[in-house]
A and B are shown apart, each in its own frame.
Chain A
Amino acid sequence: MLTFIFRRLLIATGLIFVISLISFFMITLAPGSPYPWGELNPKISPQVKEAFRKKFHLDRSLPEQYWLNMRDLFSGRLKSIKDERPVLERIGERLPATLMLNVYAICVSLVFGLVWGVWAAQRAGTWPDVVSSVASFALIALPGFWIAYLILIGLVKHASVPVLGTQSYGILFPNMLSMGLDRIWHIVLPGTILALGGIAVQSRFIRATVLEAMREDYIRTARAKGLPEESVFYKHALRNAIRPLITGIGSLLPALIGGSLIIETIFAYPGMGRLGYEAVLERDYPTLVAINFIAAALILLGNLLADILYAVVDPRVRLE
């Protein structure tokens, strides 16, 4: 088991560097000026420009820039072009909020996806199953921002429910409990909308793997042994069918982090996604590099976690 983890970690480290190369490559080779002023603005003296270039390493060769950027990133010295604050600090402020939102969304996706998928598998071929299949595609086809807006219109206009940010402003809460609930509400609404597609995708996978497992030979053996049908289903089939739940941890994460950008913007939720969006508009390269890197690293971590969980669940993997 330990060798398994160690090997995975090695691969992960290799991947991180490929990732960092990719993000650096994209960002620096793109046209577009990083300067916070116009290229040809005559008011800015050449010395100031030169000093700026030196400061952000823009005068060095590309490989050197890469090395320097990475060094600064890891040592925390990398500074945002926009306001000179350390990039890691800016991200650090926003990261917990995004993490909470995304972890919530993943949990919702996995749990509801499992329940729905099992429900559909047990009714495979019947009308409820067909309707449920269409419904799952409907959730995937829904543009996230559209449904978010529709819900916003409904809630804000017709029900006056506060939805933006991480907490409701201007309201005094009598105690910790109701304040906590308010905070949770502010995660639940955007998080659930974020998770809609994930729930649908997971339910489809689970349905497929459950049906596949039920066709396997060992199910016939279990029945031949005289086991009651619930045992056959929940103990023998389901244990083999939860693979998508685990790989889901790894594969849902990239989609969610990307999607959370839109959701965070709509709900004025102060997360890393919004920070990235602002950085893109302002051409703030250091922040962009850092965010891409951290997002990819998080996802890599998620994949690693999924791999380990997979080994826990399937003895064939852990004993190879």
Chain B
Amino acid sequence: MNTPTQDQPAVADSPVRRVLRDFFRKPIALISVFVIAVFCLTALITGLCALGGIYFPYDPNATDLANKLRPPSMAHWLGTDNLGRDVLTRMLNGSYVSLTVGFVAMTVSLLIGVVVGAVSGYFGGWIDNVLMRIVDALLCFPSFFLILTAVALLGPNIWIIIVVIGLLSWTGTSRLVRAEFLTLRETEYVRAARALGQRTPKIIFRHILPNAFAPIFVTAVVGIPEAILIEAGLSFINLGVQPPQATWGNIITDGKSYLLDAWWLIVFPGMAIFLAALAFYLAGDALREAADTRSERK
């Protein structure tokens, strides 16, 4: 169908600026980024303080059995757990663990996924076949199950958890990156670059990757809540980061025996996981919409 004629000249715009502008126009994006910023800042501050040995408002590991299982009050805003530890402090302390796992595991998974997808998509042929068959096989596994098996066998150390989550979550990214590379490989400027004799790594990094950047970045943003949710699940079955270190997940786990009497042990940490994950998902979706040049605005 013919596109209509235009009366006004088009305004020149850097694509990055346009995407950011479209992104920040949406109210949902603004709220999500705000929530993410709050979580990240608290995690960062609490984490740095913890490194220096400072904890607030209470010591997260200080038990106070006289005060155990108290509901939220002025002294303990979010109540205390079964060992009398302040829930708010433990949650603040848990935030940097949960968020670190989220970010780092996502990074691992992203790196593997991008490399596999790029190699597969760019070179094609038997490399592509072999890699994609492996991906297909991995996808057949219930990934959470695999992760828990691996963590159980290797020990629930935070770095092992991060690496395992990363190692078993890259399949989705690799397929996406591969699809992007397959399309971008056939574009005019890549063909021109090859005709000019540019070397392969240069073509990949200078020409193709920058154009695939948008969907990769969106995948990264969405990968964080996935990793956080997996870590929470692992903590729930006692295979996450071990006590006494708090994570949002294990506060809930510790509290599950007191399920019917101490609702605050379940509600607050779960709310934190939920809100953090939701904020990342919404931000990722808003970003994807803003970066999507192909579909029409509805």
Contacts and interface: CB of A to CB of B under 8 A. Distances in A.
Contacts of B11: none
B37 to A, nearest CB: 18
Nearest to A285: B153
A254 B285 contact: no
A149 B140 contact: no
B162 interface: no
Contacts of A27: 149, 153
A19 B137 contact: yes
A261 B145 CA distance: 8
Interface in A201-226: 211, 215
A133 B146 CA distance: 31
Nearest to B152: A280
Given A15-B136, A143-B274, A26 B233 contact: no
B138 interface: yes
Main secondary structure of the interface of A (DSSP, over half): helix
B144 A258 contact: yes
B277 interface: yes
A261 B144 contact: yes
| Chain A interface bracket (under 10, 10 to 19, 20 to 34, 35 or more) | 35 or more
A257 B145 contact: yes
A125 B140 contact: no
- Between B139, B140, B149, B252, the greatest number of chain A beta carbons within 10 A of the residue's beta carbon is seen for B140
Interface in A1-43: 14-15, 18-19, 22-23, 26-27, 30-32
A149 B153 CA distance: 28
A140 interface: yes
A134 B270 CA distance: 18
B266 A150 contact: yes
B153 A30 contact: yes
Nearest to B151: A280
Interface of B: 28, 133-134, 136-146, 148-150, 152-154, 225, 229, 232-233, 236-237, 239, 252, 256, 259-260, 263, 266-267, 270, 273-274, 277-278, 281-282, 285, 296, 298
